Amino acid sequence: MSDTTTAEEQQAQAISNRKQPFPQGFLDTIGEGWADRTAPAAGEREQATYAATRRAAVSAAFSGQRLVVPAGSLKQRSNDTDYPFRAHSAFSHLTGWGSDAEPDSVLVFEPTDDGHDVTLYFRERADRATAEFYSDASIGEFWIGPRPSLDAVAADLGIATAHVDAFEAREGDLVVDDDPELTRFVSELRLVKDAYEVAQLRLAVDVTARGFDDIIRELPRVIEHPRGERIIEGVFHQRARSDGNWEGYDTIAAAGPHACYLHWTRNDGRVVPGDLVLIDAGVEVDSLYTADITRTLPVNGTFSPVQRRVYEAVREAADAAFAAARPGVPFRTVHEAAMEVIAARTAEWGLLPVTAQEALDADRGGQHRRYMVHGTSHHLGIDVHDCAAARREMYYDGILEPGMVFTIEPGLYFQIDDLTVPEEYRGIGVRIEDDILMTADGPVNLSAAIPRTADEVEAWIARLSH
C-alpha cells in the first residue's frame, strides 16, 4: 500500500472517521414505510419551446457531429462543504433548466440522418431502499431533499431523458468549453435575445430595483455599522434570495475611496456621511438571467458641488452613449460616444496634459482613460458578461440588432493618491449603469425607473431613508 493518499481519499477517510455506523435494525427498515411518490402534473415550462428552437440552431450548425454540453459539477468550498450549484450557462440556455438544474447533468446531441437526437442525462432520484438515499450527503434525498424523476423532467423540459450512468463520452465528441468552435457558437447564439429572455431580464431589473430601494431604506443602519458596506451587501442579498435565485455576480458596495476600485467586492469598509457610495449589483432570477445595475449615492443624501459635477458628467456620458445606440451601428459606437464626453469634461477641468481632441486620437491619445479604464458596454443575459466567447467581429466590432441587451456604464474614478487631479477630486468614484434593450425603434432603458439624475437621486434618498 502506498504511503501517500490523494486529497479525495483523505477527505473520504475524514468523513468516515466522524460518522457512526448504521445499526442493522436501521438498515433492515429504512427502505420501508414510505408513501408512493406522486408525479407532478405533466406539461412543459414556458421556456421549453424557446430552448428547443435554440437546440435546433445548434443541430443545424453541427450536422453529423456528436455534441456534449455539460452542466458542471459541485465545486468544493472547504472540506466537505460545496458552493451552491449553478449550471453552466450554455447548458441552461439549451435545456431551459434554471436554478433547479441537477449537478453532473449532460445534454447530448446524437447525430442522425436528419439532424440530432437530443438526450438530457442526469442523476435520477434514488430508490429509498438504496444506501444513496440515506447515506450520501452530496446527493442523497434524505440530506438535500427530493430530486426529480426522468419522466418528470422529460415532460417539464420537452427533452428525452436518461440516467447519467448511461452517458458515455466518445472520441471525437465536441464538448462545450473544450471545443472552440462549439463554444463560440453557443455563446454567439445568445447575442440576440428571444421574447422569453427579454421578459426574464425585465424581471431581473425589477427585482434589482427593489433591492436598491431596500438599501436606501437601511442607510441609517448602514452608516452606524463599522462595516457598513457589508450591510449593503447583506440587504441586497436578502432581496436577491427572496425574490430571485441569487446575485448574478458579487455585489460591489464601495464607499468613499473604495468606489475608485472598479471591482471592489471586499465590502468591509465604513459608509461615511459626506462620501459617495457606489453600488453595482444585480439580481439573478430563477431562470438564471441577471440584471447589472450601478447607482452612486451621496451617503448623507446630498451631493457636494464637486461630487455633483463629477456625477453629472458621468450621466452626460451615459446619455450620449444611449443616444448613439441604434440598430445598424457598430457596438463600439456606444463606447466611443461616452468617451467623447469623458475626454471633454476631464479636459475642461484641467486634468489632461492635452486637448480633448488629442486625447481621443486612436493611436497617440487615451490620456482621459486614466480616469475610466473600463469599457462602456457589455452584453447581458444569462451571464452578467454574456456571450464572452463570441468573436470580436460579432461583439465589439459587431452591429447592434433588435433583441440585443447590453449595459451602458461610464464612470469617473479619481484614486485617493492620484496626484494628477486636484485634492478635491481625490477619492471620488462615480459609475452609472443601466440595462438597455435594443428594439427596431431604438434603445429602451430597462432600468430607467431607478433614479438617475443627481436631483432624482437626492429625492430618492430623501423619500426612502427617513
Task: Convert the pLDDT of each residue in 125-159 to its tens digit.
Answer: 888 888 888 888 888 888 888 889 999 999 999 99
Quote the mean pLDDT of the chain.
Answer: 94
Mean pLDDT of 363-368: 96
Amino acid at 39: A
With a cut of 60, say whether residue 257 has pLDDT above it.
yes
* Rounded distance between C-alpha atoms, residue 167 and residue 163, angstroms: 7
The per-residue DSSP string of 97-124 comes to --TTPPTT-EEEEEEETTEEEEEEEE-P
* Rounded distance between C-alpha atoms, residue 234 and residue 394, angstroms: 37
Cite the DSSP H helix spans in 171-281: 180-188, 195-217, 219-224, 228-243
pLDDT band at 20 (very low <50, low <70, confident <90, very high): confident
pLDDT cut 70: percent of the chain above it: 95
pLDDT band at 272 (very low <50, low <70, confident <90, very high): very high
Placement of cell 421556456 in the chain: 47
* Rounded distance between C-alpha atoms, residue 449 and residue 295, angstroms: 12
Q: Which domains does the chain have, with CATH numbers?
A: 43-188 (3.40.350.10), 195-464 (3.90.230.10)
Q: What is the pLDDT of residue 11?
A: 55
* Rounded distance between C-alpha atoms, residue 38 and residue 321, angstroms: 54
Q: What is the pLDDT of residue 15?
A: 55
**pLDDT, tens digit (0-9, with 9 covering 90-100), for 416-460:** 999 999 999 999 999 999 999 999 999 999 999 999 999 999 999
Q: Which residues contact 73 (CB under 8 A, 6 or more apart)?
A: 103, 104
Q: What is the pLDDT of residue 1?
A: 42
C-alpha dihedral sign at 89, 93, 94, 96: positive
Question: 7 vs 76, which has greater pLDDT?
Answer: 76
Lowest mean pLDDT: which of 75-79, 255-259, 426-430?
A: 75-79
With a cut of 80, say whether residue 8 has pLDDT above it.
no
